[in-house]
Every structure is written in C-alpha cells, then in structure tokens.
Amino acid sequence: MQNETMPNFLKNRAFLTPERTAVYFKEQTLTFKELYDRTHETAGQIQAFGVQQDQFVGVLLKNHLDTVVILFALQLLGVKAVILNNRLSPAELVWQLNDSKVASLILEDSFAEIEQEINQQTASLKTITKERLFQMEAAMPAIKDEICLSQICTIMYTSGTTGNPKGVMQTYGNHWWSSVGSALNLGYTKSDCWLCSVPLFHISGFSILMRSVIYGMPFVLHERFDVERTIADISRKKVTIMSVVGTMLSRIVEKLEDRRLPEHFRCMLLGGGPAPLPLLQACVKKDIPVFQSYGMTESSSQIVTLSPEYSLTKLGSAGKPLFPAQLKIVDENGLPAKASEAGEIIVKGPNVTPGYLNRQEATEEKFHAGWFSTGDIGYVDEEGFLYVLDRRSDLIISGGENIYPAEIEATLLAHPAVADAGVTGIADAKWGQVPIAFIVKNNTVSEDELQQFCLEKLAKYKVPKAFYFIEMLPRNAAKKLLRRQLREWVADK
C-alpha cells in the first residue's frame, strides 16, 4: 500500500541529519552518516554471505556497536531479524531457531561452542560469526530505499514466563508508532540522549535503537549494566533518559547514597515487571524522575506510562495508555469491568504486533476484534490510571477470594532477612487453593516469624500456609520468576 510507505529509517536519518551523533560506544562516537556508511558496507557483506531480502535471519549478539550495525544492515536489505536472547541455553536457542525457521544465523565470535551445538542439531542452517562476516568481500548491496509499515522488521521471542516463548512479529509500523507514542508522552528535545544498558535483544533495548534513528537522537550503548559507569556516563555524556528494570534502579539508588543525579537527567523509564513500592518511594526522596511503565514484547515496548507528577498520588500505578494506544479491563466473559474492578488487561494500538510467527492458533487465541489479551490482571481507577496486579495464569483463588502472588511476594521482600520470594497456590480441600511461599533468605529467620510478619501486613487468607526455604528461585533468561516451576516443585513434594 502506497500510504504505508516510508523512506528506509536509517538511510533517511543519515540524509536528514548526517552530522548529528548517533551512538556512543566505549571510546567511539559515530554520527548518523558514519553509522550509515558502516551499515552499508556490512549490508554488502551480509548479502555476499547469501542472505536475501524477505528471509528470516537469526542474530545472536551482545550489546556492542557491531550489533547496532548488523541490525540496521538487515533493515537496509529488507531482511527480517530474529533477535535471539544470548543468555539462553543451546537447547533453548535450537528450539527458537527451528520454531522461526531461519535460513541463517549471525553470531558472536565468542559463541563458538554454541555454534557447534547449533550446527549439530539444525542441519540446514548456515551460521557465520561476526568476525568472519566482517572479513567477507562486500557485494554491492541491494538497499531497500523504502519500507512498508506493515512489513515485519523483527521477531523477538517472549520471555517464556508463562509457557514456551512465542516469536512476536514486530512490523516497521509497530516500531514507528511505539517511538512516536513514547515521544508524545515523554516529550523530545534536541538535547536528549538515551542510555541503553538493557539488552538490545530485548524490546527495551531495541526500541532505543529505533527511537535514536527516528528522532535523530544519540544514545549511549553499554555492554551490560554497570552501576558506576551508569552514574558516570549520565554526567559525562549528558544522558537525559535511561531505561531500567527494578533491580537496576535499586542498585542506582543504593550507589547514589546522598548524591543526586544531575539536573539534565529527566526520565528514568522503569518497566519489565512490577515495581516494589519502597523502591518508588526511595526514588521520590532522591528526586529521581521515575516514569513507571507497563508493556510487553507484543506491544513493542511500553504501552502505558506514568509521569512522575503522579508518582506520589498514584504510587504503584503504571499510568495511562500512550496517545496512539487504548486499554480496557474485561471480565471472564469479555465484558468491560467497572472502575477499580480487577479483570484482564486488553490493549489495542498500532504498536501492537499483528501476531506470533508460525502460531496461527496462539494468535487467534490472543486477538479478538483487534484487541490483544495480555494475560495480565489489573484494574483502572476512576481517573483512568492502570494498576497491574499479576498474571492471570498465576492467580490463586482461595475460598472465592482472588489472591495475587505478586502482592505477597512484595510483602515478603520487605522483610530484611528475605533476599528473594516466590509465591504460588496449592490445592486445599477446604479453600480450593491456598498460597505457599518459597524463600531465599540472607539471614536467619523462621517460618513462624515470616508468618507473623505477613499477618501484620496482609489479610489472613493471603498469608502463606507454608514456607519453603531454598537456595535459589527458578528464573528465566530475563530473570523473571517462573511460578509455573514452583507449582511443579510443589506437585513433586
């Protein structure tokens, strides 16, 4: 469709503002023109390797300038990037490579062992390390001058918290509208600079790359999250916005002690999971401008965001939908819930995926009349602010009352001897289900003490009936708690 066509994002950005800084990585700084030139050459090498337009190509790379170049090179060629999580085990990677039916895979030089294993298990897949790729004689690349908004740009697998991960198809339009929606809410100024120390293979990191090229904004890329470097670079590189998950923000708050972040720093975009209230309160005290957000791989990053002016009055809320998006809370029959009534969160918007790759059934299950069922439970207050409670699949129903494990976990985590906590439900003859807790302790504490602690803070039916002390909680590669595994453990007991 003609009205869905736009100039190729990076090529256009290099044409519009060639001299502006695109990216800072370690000691290197690249303008958009320099980034485009490197990307153009790499596109030629990828083409010489045999990759063709419209193919699906896997990338298994770390946060590095080369990764930015490779990802944009694939866009220049109109190749769909299946962006893999480099923390996955070889077996999980093989699963995703087979699931997405990629033709070839570009991977990090240091992943030789993984490469071997993948080659043994996926007969027809062609692999190449980035070192070998960069040594290839470049062909004259067939650059796609235009992109179509409905075309697939990337495939990103969900974290697999509730089941097998699913390949989310993200179109150019999804990324475009996600960037526009974010700018309309957070604002954009010429002095903005975004720090990316979240993984590029995750939508939280990849969306920064897209915003950079769409806004013409520099971003600072870190290989991994390092709290000292973060604080130093916020000052040195004049960072104004940063994306974080809760654990990163806690580390920043701790490290800052009595210090403050510089004035120019205007937005700490917090997402990925529930935010503990004590952390949000600590940020208010330290004047850290936290924007709480709610989003998922399927919504190509944040879809609901809370501005800091509401940090106190709406503490714990994820905010309101971004301008192009909508949300509703519905009951089991799909009917709209009343204000403050909990139900499933459903979302709609041009940033929401058209569906899962090679998963017709899962797609049909999750989409109804253009609305995407998130599988999360939440409520919206009288003024339209969203509060996320938990995942529907983790809900515990005890004596007819809904119990959200996240609430109990947050309570337990406030105990000084609790390093980590996971809550799930077990069958109970009297109540149907009752909650139980798995605890990782960092100090001596007894089951009785924890029970007492919970009784002081929670309604009695929410207090776990048993506490199991364990070494480590089961978490996936995104560090998210796998409550389904806790349920399996209980079943084995």
Stretch near ligand ATP under the rule CB under 6 A, chosen from 28-36, 153-161, 207-215, 260-268: 153-161
CA 168 to chain centroid: 12
User: To 5 degrees, how large is the angle CA 487–CA 490–CA 492?
Assistant: 115
- Nearest approach in angstroms of CB 264 to ligand ATP is 26
**388 contributes a contact to ligand ATP by CB under 6 A:** yes
- Answer for which of 167, 199, 273, 425 binds ligand ATP (CB under 6 A) is 273
**301 contributes a contact to Mg ion by CB under 5 A:** no
User: To 5 degrees, how large is the angle CA 384–CA 387–CA 393?
Assistant: 130
Cβ distance to Mg ion smaller for residue 279 or 362: 362
| Angstrom distances, CA of residue 393 to CA of 299, 338, 389, 413, 452 | 20, 22, 12, 22, 28
- Answer for which of 58, 141, 165, 216 binds ligand ATP (CB under 6 A) is 165
| Angstrom distances, CA of residue 441 to CA of 341, 419, 447 | 35, 5, 11
Which residues make Cβ contacts (< 8 Å) with residue 81, sequence separation at least 6? Answer: 57, 58, 59, 71, 74, 75, 153, 154, 155
The 21-50 contact track toward ligand ATP, x by CB under 6 A, reads: ------------------------------
Tokens of 91: 């077996």
The 303-322 contact track toward Mg ion, x by CB under 5 A, reads: --------------------
- Nearest approach in angstroms of CB 198 to Mg ion is 17
- Nearest approach in angstroms of CB 238 to ligand ATP is 28
- Answer for which of 391, 415, 462, 483 binds ligand ATP (CB under 6 A) is 391
| Contacting Mg ion within 124-163 (CB under 5 A) | 158
The 356-375 contact track toward ligand ATP, x by CB under 6 A, reads: ------------------x-
What DSSP character marks residue 138? P
**96 contributes a contact to Mg ion by CB under 5 A:** no
Cβ distance to Mg ion smaller for residue 167 or 464: 167
Give which of 152, 114, 111, 145 is closest to 130, Cα–Cα. 111
**Rounded (10°) CA dihedral 212, 214, 216, 222:** 10
**296 contributes a contact to ligand ATP by CB under 6 A:** yes
| Angstrom distances, CA of residue 470 to CA of 107, 226, 379, 418, 455 | 36, 28, 33, 11, 22
- Answer for which of 9, 265, 294, 371 binds ligand ATP (CB under 6 A) is 294
Beta pairing, strands 152-157 & 241-244: unpaired
- Answer for which of 78, 141, 160, 167 binds ligand ATP (CB under 6 A) is 160
Cβ distance to ligand ATP smaller for residue 20 or 484: 484
Phi, psi angle pair for 314, to nearest 5°: -120, 40
Strand, helix or coil for residue 143:
coil
- Nearest approach in angstroms of CB 160 to ligand ATP is 4
Q: How far apart are CA 141 and CA 139, in angstroms?
A: 6
**478 contributes a contact to ligand ATP by CB under 6 A:** yes
Number of residues that bind Mg ion (CB under 5 A): 1
Beta bridge partners of 152: 171
| 228, HSE (Cβ side, Cα atoms, 13 Å) | 0
**376 contributes a contact to ligand ATP by CB under 6 A:** yes
- Nearest approach in angstroms of CB 5 to ligand ATP is 29
**422 contributes a contact to ligand ATP by CB under 6 A:** no
Work out what residue 24 binds among Mg ion, ligand ATP, none; the CB cut-off runs from 5 to 8 Å by kind. Answer: none
Work out what residue 276 binds among ligand ATP, Mg ion, none; the CB cut-off runs from 5 to 8 Å by kind. Answer: none
Q: Hey, what amino acid is at 61?
A: L
| 474, HSE (Cβ side, Cα atoms, 13 Å) | 13
| 3, HSE (Cβ side, Cα atoms, 13 Å) | 0
Work out what residue 271 binds among ligand ATP, Mg ion, none; the CB cut-off runs from 5 to 8 Å by kind. Answer: ligand ATP
- Nearest approach in angstroms of CB 359 to Mg ion is 13
Work out what residue 273 binds among ligand ATP, Mg ion, none; the CB cut-off runs from 5 to 8 Å by kind. Answer: ligand ATP
**171 contributes a contact to Mg ion by CB under 5 A:** no
**118 contributes a contact to ligand ATP by CB under 6 A:** no
Tokens of 238: 């004049």
Give which of 416, 418, 436 is closest to 490, Cα–Cα. 436
Stretch near ligand ATP under the rule CB under 6 A, chosen from 52-60, 260-268, 271-279, 332-340: 271-279
Stretch near ligand ATP under the rule CB under 6 A, chosen from 128-136, 192-200, 289-297, 408-416: 289-297
**480 contributes a contact to ligand ATP by CB under 6 A:** yes
Burial class (CB in 10 A: 0-12, 13-18, 19+), 254: exposed
Beta pairing, strands 367-368 & 371-380: antiparallel
- Nearest approach in angstroms of CB 234 to Mg ion is 31
Cβ distance to ligand ATP smaller for residue 97 or 388: 388
Sites of contact with ligand ATP (CB under 6 A): 158-162, 165, 271-274, 294-297, 318, 374, 376, 388, 391, 478, 480
Sites of contact with Mg ion (CB under 5 A): 158
